[in-house]
Structure 1
Amino acid sequence: IIRLVSDSWVGVELTYPVSLAQTRMPEQVATNTDLMDLTPLPTTALQDEKYEKLFSRIETFNPVQTQLFHVLYHTDVPVLLGAPTGSGKTVVGELAILRMKRLHKNGICIYIAPLKSLARERLKEWGKRFGGAPMHWNVLELSGDTHHDRRALERADILVCTPEKWDLISRGWRGNSDGNSDDNKRSFIKRVRLLVIDEIHLLGEDRGAVLEAIVSRTRFISKTLQQQQDPNRSENDPEMVRIVGLSTAVANPLDLADWIGIDTAKTRIGLYNFRPSIRPVPTCVHVQSYPGKHYCPRMATMNKPCFAAIKQHSPDRPSLIFVASRRQTRLTAFDLISFAARDENPKIFLGCDDEYINAITTSIQDEALRHTITFGIGLHHAGLSSGDRDIVERLYLSGEIRVLVATATLAWGVNLPARLVIVKGTEYFDGKLSRYVDYPLTDVLQMIGRAGRPGFDTEGTAVVMCETSKKNFYKKFLYTPFPVESCLRDRLCENLNAEISTGTVNSTLDAVGYLVWTFFARRVKANPSYYGAKSSSQEHVEEFLSSVADETLTKLQGEGCIAIDDTDTVKASTLGRAASKFYLNHRTPKQMQFGLRQCAKMIIAEKPSIASFCKIATLRPLMRSKRLDEVSIAWLLYTLCCTHEFDELPVRHNEEYLNEELSEDLMWGADTSVVLSKDGRAGYVDAEVYANSHTKGFLLLQAYLERAKLPISDYINDSKTVMDSVPRLLAAMQFIASREGLNGSFDVLSQLVRAKQLISARTTLKSNPGTQLAGVNDASFKILMNKLNAQKKGQTNDDKEKQNSLWNLRNLPRNAVSEALKKCRKGTFRAPFQKILNSLYTMPLITLKEGKVYHEIDKV
């Protein structure tokens, strides 16, 4: 019984009974691995000259690597390593790769990095070490920013992937599942022999469901292929695909280990869960608290203590300050500069002379960075160009600047050493929830782990600055590992739909069987009350998994993704295959289908008025007006932006006002009301619409097409996020429209093709097609055409107007266009002449010499 009593008022109390019937005490099982006192193993233990050259920068392996060496390099059992940041976990993954390549020369290793920045860093490092002499292996990156053809993937030895990218690709492991030959290009998946997952403890966070799907599918593929090759194989034989999980120390390593295939019931070989205290470089952590209800004023009060901490702990060594936003990077840096100026030593953080740093600032694009870097303070966030980021990283690594203020994503990305790490605030603004939320504890530990990197320092210091009420929490739990729980249920519809589309799940019973493979099933048994199961008994767990499977299948059926017949056979529909093939939310295809049908209705309604002007009946279906083109394309792109794919596009504080101002300058407004209305006026738009993620996405898409100036720098990165998804979503809409078979489907498909053209060329229907050329805008295109027309005598103005088209320009000889470009004034074009010529003459020249139309009258 809990009794609550007021400390201020007499008689104000409450008694509340709490049932402990379902309470489970933690199992008293030793889950930590002791670090053995072993003699460091020399790299000659690899017994291969080529492999030894890969580790030429070290003479011996560190204690953790030494203890794991035999299991990694001389066995094929799965491995789970829990160790603090800076313990050499990357080398552990490399030893597993060397073992795999010794046994399977044609085998492929998949390395899963949690972030694109970490994937790029790993590609950069491994591309040099494994890609060069003596190995000459092909190392490729697969993330949202990179694409490779089938031949490149077939030749790959190591693929560095983000979880989402590998999840999408591995769905096609069976081959042709939906009539699309692209799936047959993924036969290389069957050559995968090693899966290395970095930061596998992120399983318990938002993207953890993707990691869970990857591992569960990998083990299923491995078992299936082994069974096909050798039906008589023993269950105790190693699986075809070895899984190596790299993590920080966790509270429930047995569940994780069992899930990746380690025999936890008997030997536990392959399970290593070291304590946080084994860090090769000791780190001292200070937790400081600051009062203040409001976020921004509290952050401002932390700036002076940041300056004091740098002077005390790292006056002449590198210091790294983590903040929550790009704006905070600028504000923090400016305040540090002012505090240094008050101390009459403004260049205290600069490690080179003024002349050298001033020469470098001329190549920096960001204005704030250009200012702060002259004082020895660098900025690092996603809003910087890649060139600016490279300059900052190089200067920081060389010691020419000693302070780096970065957003928290850097903790997972680039490996930059620091004597001192300051975590300035433990909260960030969540655009989806529209409020400030705490960092996951794993993120805070990752930031702290950047202090005292091996090979750079003998000790490190970390300062965690938090709000007053959270100080005791961080002091108590910072080094107490929490259990990793499953997040699969949040994305179970998408994962189960993918397995149904690929043919892995064909019935309701198969759906339950799929869940048994997951980490989710293991945690339901270990912690039933957390997930809603009655108890941990086998009967109740099976009943719960069955109900979860039924509930998920019902949702998928309601969204039109699957069909279930009377025999409980499950089949994927067009919408389900679209969701799987294009990596969509399971509700998105139905939204797209509705938008496509509405577009078809608009086209059909408009066609009679257009057809009345055409006397040839067979040509009427091909007739379109300019207004119909604009209305239908605007509607299709609006439909695309209203899907669930943009639910998490952040709308930050006060950005609704920026969205309203931006909409006034764009062609279609906030909701297509401008183009849909006959008078071209926007209808009334509720103020809340501008605070909507989908509205912001639609505005950013229009701004991209019109090349409009965005109000603030944050919108540039948001625009990139939107435009990265648009081609995939348009392809999904084409996939659905091509299989609809409704009246008007051909017209809708043709409009989708035109929308793709506009996105690819970054232009609008009203823009001059010549603006597709590199460095050419509307004004400069007219200047170029005037120069060309001036060479022709005897032309009327009408003749010149007709010839002012991209098609006519493409028909001219290259030397004629080159001469006209040279006659134009310097600065007319934003690109070199050669680049303009190349972009012009790489365009296909399509001509139709003769056309015939045949038609027959059906006899009824």
Structure 2
Amino acid sequence: MKSRNRELVGLFDSGLGIHHAGMLRSDRGLTERLFADGLLKVLVCTATLAWGVNLPAHTVVIKGTQIYDPKAGGWRDLGMLDVMQIFGRAGRPQFDKSGEGIIITSHDKLSHYLRLLTSQLPIESQFINSLKDNLNAEVALGTVTNMKEACAWLGYTYLFIRMKMNPLAYGIGWDEVVADPSLGLKQRAFITDAARALDKAKMMRFDEKSGNFYCTELGRIASHFYIQYSSVETYNEMLKRHMSDSEVIDMVAHSSEFENILVREEEQMELETSARECPLEIKGGSSSKHGKISILIQLYISRGSIDSFSLISDAAYISASLARIMRALFEICLRRGWSEMTAFMLEYCKAVDRQIWPHQHPLRQFDRDISLEILRKLEDRGAELDRLYDMEEKDIGALIRYLPGGKVDLLITPDFTWKDRFHGAAQRWWILVEVLCLLQVLLLDHFSLLQFKVPVQFSF
């Protein structure tokens, strides 16, 4: 009776439950409580949630070992760590005396999982692939300031432990091990290569004579927004003082966060159809990887529909990183003092957050309460917020030819009714002082409006 999900209610009568990311949070919490209390005997959930749901069970069944990985751009086998993590839900000591784990897979994969379960092969570190990003984060935090501290930091990692245990797996020959048993020279070489690369990308300054590291604004932004080193290299090359809308979207599409997105033959027809509905030019066309990413970005902002399962998965993967990438580009432009590009990127930050294009009316973010017909009339008549604010209710109603809909709540000053589902915990603004003729930012400040907070006066 507490849920509006008819499937959930119908399955409950049979002692069954479902749990996946597409459900309402209240329904997920209700399902977890019912299963924990023993009212649900069987809980069917996705693999991702099976890792994170902290619910003990007597028997855990893994049905199928092929999972779709958007990062890899295709299907992959469930790893042994994943299998053990999921099986760890079965037979918790404090809840049950015994537990069972059942894995259902294809016959050709059976020997593979049996060997992994019985042989207990060692796990090698993948840390070296992200050494530059992690070193930049430590430098930005101030915990690593020179070569000596960086080598000590690397010595605490699992990578260094495995380097000493299995050096060949990390490209270290036996002659190097004999000459340097502690691997101190190799450790220093790894740090030096990473520091040089970060210095070249302007993410930090590396003084090779003194061995000191100095963080830069670009490095802090990359660390704060989790932007990969290779993406920063791309932005250094493509980001300019003046860019068009399509150039910005194309630059974001070149981010290394999306490098694993693949173009599949079966998606071409839908991509070509979607490309015709996109408001911006698709650089490279729909048949290229970056063109596909550009289409999915535009579909996300436009709230367009997608039919193909693989495209839906790729679009979800792209949208998960899109907001932080846009915010990072905004910060980069801001720190460089590019006033025009800063305002431009701030518009796209809001476009991604609210899924409305900069050229569309701001009231489109309230499309649940304002009909699309009224929104179209506001856009067709060029009724900007400043103009609406100075108009009477009857004048607004006459403008859109809908008298009952003349009243509009505007987000101009704190003089409005605060609603959490519209405004969240706070509303934030960047205040910029710029010289128009020079297109240069002079002063800036950040203002957060909290609920019931009085207006704040700024002095420059």
User: Scaled by the length of structure 2, what TM-score is found?
Assistant: 0.73
Equivalent-residue separation in structure 2 for 1:510 and 1:730 (angstroms): 33
Match of 2:180 among 531, 539, 545: 539
Match of 1:530 among 143, 148, 169: 169
Residue 492 of structure 1 and its aligned partner are, at CA, apart by: 0.5
Residue 493 of structure 1 and its aligned partner are, at CA, apart by: 0.8
Q: Which amino acid aligns with 1:561?
A: M
Equivalent-residue separation in structure 1 for 2:375 and 2:16 (angstroms): 44
* Secondary structure class of the residue paired with 1:478: helix
Matches within 5 A, 1:363-378: 363-364=4-5, 376-378=15-17
Partner of 1:579: 222
1:763 aligns to 2:356 (yes or no) = yes
Partner of 2:303: 707
Q: Which amino acid aligns with 2:328?
A: A
Larger radius of gyration: 1
Whether the aligned pair in 2 keeps the contact of 1:500 and 1:570 (CA below 8 Å) is yes
String of CA shifts for 1:682-735, please: whole Å, max 9, x gaps. Answer: xx7262x1xx3x544433332232222232577666555434433322232233
Equivalent-residue separation in structure 1 for 2:10 and 2:295 (angstroms): 32
Whether the aligned pair in 2 keeps the contact of 1:771 and 1:777 (CA below 8 Å) is no
* Secondary structure class of the residue paired with 1:525: helix
Whether the aligned pair in 1 keeps the contact of 2:17 and 2:40 (CA below 8 Å) is yes
Equivalent-residue separation in structure 1 for 2:146 and 2:218 (angstroms): 18
1:808 aligns to 2:387 (yes or no) = yes
* Secondary structure class of the residue paired with 2:239: helix
Q: Which amino acid aligns with 1:699?
A: I
Q: Give the direction of change, closer, same or farther, for the CA distance of 1:754–1:370 in structure 2 (3 Å limit).
A: same
Match of 2:341 among 740, 744, 748: 748
Q: Give the direction of change, closer, same or farther, for the CA distance of 1:754–1:404 in structure 2 (3 Å limit).
A: same
Partner of 1:643: 255
Partner of 2:69: 430
RCO (CA 8 Å, sep 6+): is it higher in 1 or 2?
A: 1
Whether the aligned pair in 1 keeps the contact of 2:16 and 2:41 (CA below 8 Å) is yes
Partner of 2:272: 660
Q: Give the direction of change, closer, same or farther, for the CA distance of 1:854–1:474 in structure 2 (3 Å limit).
A: closer
Equivalent-residue separation in structure 1 for 2:170 and 2:266 (angstroms): 37
* Secondary structure class of the residue paired with 1:485: coil
Partner of 2:444: none
Equivalent-residue separation in structure 2 for 1:843 and 1:499 (angstroms): 31
Whether the aligned pair in 2 keeps the contact of 1:670 and 1:698 (CA below 8 Å) is yes
* Secondary structure class of the residue paired with 2:21: coil
Matches within 5 A, 1:159-558: 363-364=4-5, 376-454=15-93, 456-478=95-117, 481-535=120-174, 536-537=177-178, 539-540=180-181, 541-558=183-200
* Secondary structure class of the residue paired with 1:512: helix
Q: Which amino acid aligns with 1:763?
A: I
Equivalent-residue separation in structure 2 for 1:513 and 1:589 (angstroms): 26
Q: Give the direction of change, closer, same or farther, for the CA distance of 1:782–1:564 in structure 2 (3 Å limit).
A: closer
Residue 398 of structure 1 and its aligned partner are, at CA, apart by: 4.8
* Secondary structure class of the residue paired with 2:105: strand
Whether the aligned pair in 2 keeps the contact of 1:557 and 1:563 (CA below 8 Å) is yes
Q: Give the direction of change, closer, same or farther, for the CA distance of 1:765–1:570 in structure 2 (3 Å limit).
A: closer
Equivalent-residue separation in structure 1 for 2:169 and 2:108 (angstroms): 26
Equivalent-residue separation in structure 1 for 2:151 and 2:74 (angstroms): 37
Equivalent-residue separation in structure 2 for 1:717 and 1:733 (angstroms): 25
1:588 aligns to 2:231 (yes or no) = yes
Q: Which amino acid aligns with 2:46?
A: T
Whether the aligned pair in 1 keeps the contact of 2:35 and 2:43 (CA below 8 Å) is yes
Whether the aligned pair in 1 keeps the contact of 2:297 and 2:315 (CA below 8 Å) is yes
String of CA shifts for 1:316-344, please: whole Å, max 9, x gaps. Answer: xxxxxxxxxxxxxxxxxxxxxxxxxxxxx
Residue 371 of structure 1 and its aligned partner are, at CA, apart by: 7.3
Equivalent-residue separation in structure 1 for 2:403 and 2:309 (angstroms): 36
Whether the aligned pair in 2 keeps the contact of 1:429 and 1:436 (CA below 8 Å) is yes
Partner of 1:356: none
Whether the aligned pair in 1 keeps the contact of 2:246 and 2:282 (CA below 8 Å) is no
Whether the aligned pair in 1 keeps the contact of 2:15 and 2:42 (CA below 8 Å) is yes
* Secondary structure class of the residue paired with 1:378: strand
Q: Give the direction of change, closer, same or farther, for the CA distance of 1:648–1:364 in structure 2 (3 Å limit).
A: farther
Q: Give the direction of change, closer, same or farther, for the CA distance of 1:801–1:645 in structure 2 (3 Å limit).
A: closer
Q: Which amino acid aligns with 1:823?
A: P
Residue 487 of structure 1 and its aligned partner are, at CA, apart by: 2.1
Once the two structures are overlaid, the 10-residue window that deviates more, 435-444 or 556-565, is: 556-565
1:732 aligns to 2:328 (yes or no) = yes
* Secondary structure class of the residue paired with 1:710: coil
Partner of 1:280: none
* Secondary structure class of the residue paired with 2:285: coil
Partner of 1:184: none
Q: Give the direction of change, closer, same or farther, for the CA distance of 1:759–1:437 in structure 2 (3 Å limit).
A: closer
Equivalent-residue separation in structure 2 for 1:571 and 1:853 (angstroms): 33
Q: Which amino acid aligns with 1:449?
A: G
String of CA shifts for 1:642-699, please: whole Å, max 9, x gaps. Answer: 211223457789445443332222212543xxxxxxxxxxxx7262x1xx3x544433
Q: Give the direction of change, closer, same or farther, for the CA distance of 1:816–1:716 in structure 2 (3 Å limit).
A: farther
Q: Give the direction of change, closer, same or farther, for the CA distance of 1:809–1:713 in structure 2 (3 Å limit).
A: farther
Q: Give the direction of change, closer, same or farther, for the CA distance of 1:653–1:835 in structure 2 (3 Å limit).
A: farther
Residue 588 of structure 1 and its aligned partner are, at CA, apart by: 1.5
Gap regions ≥5 residues in structure 2: 407-416, 429-434, 439-460
Q: Give the direction of change, closer, same or farther, for the CA distance of 1:824–1:552 in structure 2 (3 Å limit).
A: closer
Equivalent-residue separation in structure 2 for 1:685 and 1:475 (angstroms): 46
Residue 566 of structure 1 and its aligned partner are, at CA, apart by: 5.8
Whether the aligned pair in 2 keeps the contact of 1:418 and 1:453 (CA below 8 Å) is yes
Equivalent-residue separation in structure 1 for 2:196 and 2:355 (angstroms): 41
Partner of 2:409: none
Residue 467 of structure 1 and its aligned partner are, at CA, apart by: 2.7
Q: Give the direction of change, closer, same or farther, for the CA distance of 1:594–1:778 in structure 2 (3 Å limit).
A: farther
Residue 532 of structure 1 and its aligned partner are, at CA, apart by: 2.4
% same residue:
26
Q: Give the direction of change, closer, same or farther, for the CA distance of 1:392–1:747 in structure 2 (3 Å limit).
A: same
Residue 824 of structure 1 and its aligned partner are, at CA, apart by: 5.2
Q: Which amino acid aligns with 2:277?
A: D
Partner of 1:230: none
Whether the aligned pair in 2 keeps the contact of 1:451 and 1:461 (CA below 8 Å) is yes
Whether the aligned pair in 2 keeps the contact of 1:562 and 1:570 (CA below 8 Å) is yes
Equivalent-residue separation in structure 1 for 2:101 and 2:258 (angstroms): 37
1:698 aligns to 2:294 (yes or no) = yes
Whether the aligned pair in 2 keeps the contact of 1:432 and 1:650 (CA below 8 Å) is no
Whether the aligned pair in 2 keeps the contact of 1:663 and 1:699 (CA below 8 Å) is yes
Whether the aligned pair in 2 keeps the contact of 1:498 and 1:580 (CA below 8 Å) is yes
Whether the aligned pair in 1 keeps the contact of 2:70 and 2:314 (CA below 8 Å) is no
Number of aligned positions between the proteins: 413
Residue 464 of structure 1 and its aligned partner are, at CA, apart by: 1.6
Q: Give the direction of change, closer, same or farther, for the CA distance of 1:456–1:822 in structure 2 (3 Å limit).
A: farther
Residue 593 of structure 1 and its aligned partner are, at CA, apart by: 2.7
Equivalent-residue separation in structure 2 for 1:512 and 1:651 (angstroms): 41
